[in-house]
Structure 1
Amino acid sequence: MMKFLFLLLALFFAACSEYPDMEPDILAQHIYSQNPIELGSSNKEYVAMLAKSFGMNEGAIIAVQKHILSKKTTDKMKSDYEKAIYEKAVKLEQQNGESARKDFVVNVLAPYLDALSRNEIYKSGPDNESFERIVSNLYGKFFPDDGAAQSLFSFMNAAKVYFSGESFNVDLKNTVNRNLLKYGLFLDFELQSMASILKVQDTLLPMTAYKGDSLSAINLKRFIPGLMPSKAGYYTIGMNYVVVLDDMIAARAESDSLELEQGEFYRKYGDKRFERFWRYLGLDLSLQKASEIYNRLLKKDLGGKNFAYIKRVEELNTAIHETKHIVDQIEHPELTLNLDAEFSAHVTEAIFSPAPNAALLSAIQRMEKYAMVQRQPYLNQVVVKLWTMAKRSAYEEQYTDDSLRIDLTDLYNNYRTIRENAYFEPLDEFAEKVAGKL
């Protein structure tokens, strides 16, 4: 009897911990406004692609397609969405507790903020302001904090006026996120693009003091249907949080796995412009040779590894890369040129990565693209040095991972920023306080 009671309690708490499904009328508008999907296509590959893109199962995608088709027109779909989200908000005014809070997140807050990010507000004029007051008050009730309701209302208003030509105050978004983080949630909000409320799946680096400032890294996972941005991670200005997006990390790991499966037949380079550029730099490279080096280095680090290992490598690489951006801002806030910052982050990533060759490939691709556009002599030299390391690591047995790390560290230590002609700080403290803990 006691064992049965414990089982019931376990099932009860497991059920309570889950977030509810998005209401069909809300989901239909939420999905279709992000990407107008083909409604009549039941092609298995297309449905599977949609399911992966939106973080849904294939059956749910087919159900959404049918539900959207039942609306006949986009105007009808939008009016049903507005009715459903308004009725849900009003209903939640009379409810309390954890399940109501989660219902609010899934069926009111997340879809509305996503629509707001594209300036697709509930209704124009007073109706919208009245609705946003309801949403803000619900936010204050379910995520209580000093001034919580007003903080969300101010944030939403700032997003709206941005589309009128005014600047957006990122501090308003940070205030909302500091509160959401207390509940294991985080708002990924991009104006003119999309917004997602994600759950904190893991703390990769707890808040760590660093030269009078601090930084942290968290892994976020999607739990509400919706598209994800193409980035695998980023750092938040004004919060010193590094965000690693688990769904995009998984997509990168899948890409790595597919490239490894193709082996020597995979052709990373196919654009003749690369050959012309390499010739200009004096590099003895062809598209075939560059692809061969790429394949050799990827196999050297990730060949024979399972998906979980490859995903963990991508997660660590992204976390190292983004935390270095924060550290550079702390140590040298005067440095403003993006390509300098990317050099620092990519080379540091390769130095501390458990897969330095794979990270070197990423560094080459990024710096190569900058160099092809800028045609800056110093940047060209960096590309030559990175390719030289790659060739040695691909073909010379005595050139070990440690050899590569030594050469990368030497390149980093001697790099001068293009605009300020300054050095980056030595990596000792970063190694101890950040990379070592990650």
Structure 2
Amino acid sequence: MGRLARCASLWAAAAVLGAQAPDGPDALLERIQRKMAQNLNRLPDYVCLQTVERSRRQSPAGSYQPLDTLRVEVGLVGNRELYSWPDSSGFEDKELAEMIGRGVVGTGHFALLAKHVFLSRVAEFTWKGEDLLNGRAAVRFDYQVPRNLSSYRIRVPPNEAVVGFHGSVWVAPDTLDLVRLEVRSNEIPEPLGMAEAVSIMDYARAPIGNSDFLLPQASELRLVTLSGEENRNRGEFTGCRQYRSESSLSFDEPSAQTGKPPGAPTLPPGSEIELSLDQEIDPEAAALGDSVRAVLARPLRQGQQVIAPEGAAVLGRVVRVEKQVLPFPHYIVALQFHTLDLGASQSRFLATMEDAGPAPGLIRQKKRLDPTFTRRRSARMDILVNEQQPGQGVIHWDARQQRIRRGLKMRWRVDPGR
């Protein structure tokens, strides 16, 4: 029955192709490229929420182990892919990798790779015939872009290189809409330490403004190292909307104190801020980019003057979530607070956490050295030392305690010169 259904689907695709492409694959390809160009050229500036699940496996035979989840706003604005945190008032004036700070990230999935393949006219296409994709009839073309015509760049700091790439496109035979774009590169310069890079983007129509457009719905990035380790990012795009001219296209730094509205206080560099977490944080479910709220645990003073009362809201975000299994299961959660919200005014700042707690589950510092061997126990050395990152607060949390509780006390210091 499955074979009969597959044959029927392929026959349906062939029938549509016969009606649409009397001049053969070349004419079909021309129509596909023309339709894709119309879609890409008509796209207004728009923004989506991108959620990415990052995982890793040590070899092709192993299973992927989850690392963390990332949530960012991604926008196509003026033919540029721009990124911001979901709670930010403007796009970051920095690369996504610099913004995230650690782990594998990929860009170009939003629009730029599709524009490179379909608009640059440097890809050489080869007809591959009818195919099935996720159980639906599709037509497939393979393509290749040589290195000398490519602008596809792979960066593994401190090295980067422009690489050639190849792949496939799958198109719905009835509408000629792009369904999937696959991009592969396996001729990567050795200094990058990568054997292969694979990006897959799935497309569907979605409303933007008063019209509908072909937009990426999901993406997957796989990077395979020369040693066989494989990193995988699986993402989805949701909540897509038009980026209107009245939107704020500012490039905000968390440390910026310029442009404050009248009455907004300036947090003196070096001043101490005592905060109380105003919500629970579940490290198992938290994602990079999630909003976090705290309140001032005591008034903030400049000299004898109170510039912010106890209970004033302080806004921030999660910037790191890692689960560790040694020396025992625990989470590393990093927070970044950036805005003092007084209701009528807001002040931006950058601060570094100096201490937290006490609280059940908070690991402040642990050192254990026990070199004794017995028949039942091997020698063990546990070392867990809290780290301090400028502009962040790094919390080590015992996984057995699950949630970081509301009310956690934290002591921060405003960074000098901020």
Question: What's the TM-score once normalised by structure 1's chain length?
Answer: 0.25
Q: Which protein has the bigger strand share? A: 2
Question: What's the TM-score once normalised by structure 2's chain length?
Answer: 0.26
Greater Rg, structure 1 or structure 2?
2
Indicate the structure whose relative CO is greater, using CA pairs within 8 Å and at least 6 residues apart.
2
